[in-house]
Chains A and B, each alone.
Chain A
Amino acid sequence: MMNMKIFIAIFLIIPLFASLSSFIVKNKRFAEYISLFSSFLDLIGAFIILYFSISLKTVSIFNGAIVIDKFSAYIILLVSVVYFVSSMYGISYMRLALEDEKMTDGEFFRYYLFLNLFALTMLLAPMINNMAVYLIDIELTTITSAFLVIAEVTEKSIEAAWKYIVIVSAGISLALLGTILFYLSGNIPGSGNIASSMDWTSLSLNAGYLNKDIVRFAFVLIVIGLGTKVGLAPMHTWLPDAHSEAPSPISSMLSASLLNTAMYGIMRYFNIAGKNLGFDFPQTIMIIIGLFSLFIGVMGIINQKTTKRLFAYSSIEHMSIIALGFGLGGIFGTFGALLQMLGHSLTKPVMFFGSGNFLHKYKTKDINKIKGAFYVMPKTAFLFSTGVMSLIGAPPSIIFISEFLIILQSLKDGYYWMTFLLIGFLIAAFVSLLSKSGSMVFGKAEGNFITDKGDFSPFSYIPMLLPLMASIILGFYIPGSLHSLLSGIVHIIK
């Protein structure tokens, strides 16, 4: 276990070092490559942690302050995958931003300072055992990413960051209240203080002894509070603003890894509340909030006129499908939701990176003004359109399998009306996303024709290619190790 302690410490120090050194050295190339290198090391580290948690069951170090089971290791892997591709794409994006958007050098180094800190807080979150400390860590992700949203200081980005901080901080304080109530539920005077702890391990172990009324109230508070961070409607209002005003690499990190990190917290409480009250209560809440968010997400997708807001609403849609999957429960539902988390982390960066490339080429986020991308930047356009197919769940794609499993579970449980609604919303999102991206990629440009054709440097499309390939390959074939990992997590949640 000694080795594991040192390993985890190094794993967390790497991004901290990258962040501070890039801010101190003030050399642009150095800042870019140290971030890329640190994210690469953390990606390898995440695989090693995953291997340990599979072979050694649960890693518990620093007196149980840090506990890593399969679920945590899975989330850490998702975060580090997105961290890696985002810092690779960031090289291309930030160079172009320096060239043509009047980004100052100060803003450039501040970006790298907070990029790695943001990754650090997200990598730390799934490891923390004490749920109150976890929530404060989630609050720190808000602070660091708010400074990334204002990487380019404009009136719009300030507005987005302000809304983001105020709404999410208020949400997190509700979740904190819920956590304190969970502590109270196991610590009632006269009950012998059976579960006198805020650690999810001990709460989950002693879930049967908690006070049922308080747990019921506290779980609702947790879903509202952390749901703010996940982007579940009606607490989602910060999400489209922050995602659309942040630089593209940050949008992808916000969407593809931060939302999963917050969903992880909800699922820990879901497990405790389910063991205490029976799984019907938390499942019903997840289903209700999931369906409502699905409605809001799909309506948002249909109404959007700018690229990044479109994909922000698509994130809301994906997270609501994940919430629905967990809410339906069962083997297929939970498995599908976990798979959807992976699919979301693999496909969302592709879309935000593609939008970032379009933004630099066409100088606009307006869908109606981006036309004929296939003739202007063929590589990006090809990957972008394949990515859209993958995102909306056209086979072969990992999202097709996960959505299929969730639909299967709802049919199996006999929720026919919900299956009907789910399929209807998915088709609406499918058609809308396809027509919008189709007009961007293949549409005919009128008037101002782009003269300098061609893609940007390889750093602009390789980060799109890698996760997209993974998503398509996993659509054909899910390796046995991934399957057994996810089945293990299903048993942890249930």
Chain B
Amino acid sequence: MLGYSMPLYVYVIEDLLVLLVLLSSFIMLSSRWISFYIHAYGFQSFLIFVLTIILGIEAQSVDLYLVAFLTLFVRAIFVPYILLRMIKKFNIKEEVKLTLKIPFSIISGVVLTVFAYFLIYRLISPFSPKIVVNASSIALSLIFVGFFMIISRFTTITHILGLLVIENGIFLLSVVVVPTLPIIVELVVLFDILVTVTAMLILSMFMKMRTGSFSTTMLNRLVG
């Protein structure tokens, strides 16, 4: 369990890592370029991988190592790779269409993070050490930021990335708060990510063939 009987510098490193995770989600919120987005996602997944490894050493759990390496392969390498290849193949013009201006996005991100901190503080602070509260509130804020990214950006790739950020948040939360989670759960979640991303890429390829773009703004025929 995080927060028990480890030397102080481990906690400092862990705190720094979750802070960087939060920073990477704000990088996504503030960027206009899709490839930048994807790289930030890969970076975030890599940070989560390192954090999971450290937690695995703390808890001396082989399951966590396995999950960490699968995370590295799936979230930090495979998914960003196919997304980048997709962009290259279809020669997407890279700028993301934003509904909200970037400063407003960042302020919303901050508000969501504070809200996440309050929620987590109310829920788990009675029985958790401070470092767990910090890490899990950042995990929850990733979930909120992911939702915000889905509703505020209008391309298929950013929708996929929004869902992936939500998944990252859930994964981080589960590793930090309940490291004893049965490994089968993490495995099926990873499997689910692979299937979902593949399906969404196929769908967006169909969309590209029919409408000539990846923008979801023209998806307005079905109403009422």
Q: Is B100 an interface residue (CB 8 A)?
A: no
Q: Is A324 an interface residue (CB 8 A)?
A: no
Q: How far is the CA of A162 from the CA of B220 in the complex (A)?
A: 12
Which residues of the other chain, B, contact A181 by a CB distance below 8 angstroms?
123
B123 contacts A132, C-beta separation under 8 Å: no
Which residues of the other chain, A, contact B182 by a CB distance below 8 angstroms?
130, 197-198
Supposing A169-B196, A176-B170 touch, asked if A196 and B180 sit within 8 A by C-beta, the answer is yes
Q: Which of B6-14, B34-42, B83-91, B205-213 contacts A (4 or more CB under 8 A)?
A: B205-213
Which residues of the other chain, A, contact B134 by a CB distance below 8 angstroms?
none
Residue pairs across A and B with Cβ atoms less than 8 A apart, 23 shown, are A130-B182, A133-B184, A133-B188, A150-B206, A154-B210, A155-B221, A156-B221, A156-B222, A158-B207, A161-B203, A162-B156, A165-B200, A170-B162, A173-B166, A173-B170, A177-B143, A180-B173, A180-B174, A198-B181, A214-B123, A214-B124, A241-B222, A245-B222
Chain A at the B interface: SS class:
helix
A143 contacts B195, C-beta separation under 8 Å: yes
Pick the contact of A158: B150, B178, B181, B210 (CB < 8 A): B210
Q: How far is the CA of A177 from the CA of B211 in the complex (A)?
A: 35
Q: How far is the CA of A147 from the CA of B195 in the complex (A)?
A: 12
Which residues of the other chain, B, contact A132 by a CB distance below 8 angstroms?
185, 188-189
Chain A: residues with Cβ within 8 Å of the partner, total of: 52
Report the interface size class on chain B. Answer: 35 or more
Supposing A165-B200, A180-B174, A198-B182 touch, asked if A140 and B207 sit within 8 A by C-beta, the answer is no
Q: Which of A186-194, A379-387, A410-418 contacts B (4 or more CB under 8 A)?
A: A186-194
A165 contacts B203, C-beta separation under 8 Å: yes
Pick the contact of B184: A130, A161, A213 (CB < 8 A): A130
Nearest Cβ distance between residue A261 and chain B, in whole angstroms?
A: 17
What would 4 more interface pairs be, CB under 8 Å, given A133-B188, A191-B127?
A136-B192, A153-B206, A162-B219, A170-B150
Which residues of the other chain, A, contact B204 by a CB distance below 8 angstroms?
162
Which residues of the other chain, B, contact A160 by a CB distance below 8 angstroms?
222
Nearest Cβ distance between residue A192 and chain B, in whole angstroms?
A: 12
Which residues of the other chain, A, contact B185 by a CB distance below 8 angstroms?
130, 132-133, 198
Supposing A133-B185, A155-B210, A180-B173 touch, asked if A170 and B163 sit within 8 A by C-beta, the answer is yes
Q: Is B199 an interface residue (CB 8 A)?
A: yes
Q: Which 9 A-B pairs have the closest CB atoms?
A: A159-B219, A132-B185, A136-B188, A241-B222, A143-B199, A136-B192, A173-B166, A180-B174, A184-B178
Q: How far is the CA of A136 from the CA of B192 in the complex (A)?
A: 7
Which residues of the other chain, A, contact B195 by a CB distance below 8 angstroms?
139-140, 143
Nearest Cβ distance between residue B122 and chain A, in whole angstroms?
A: 7
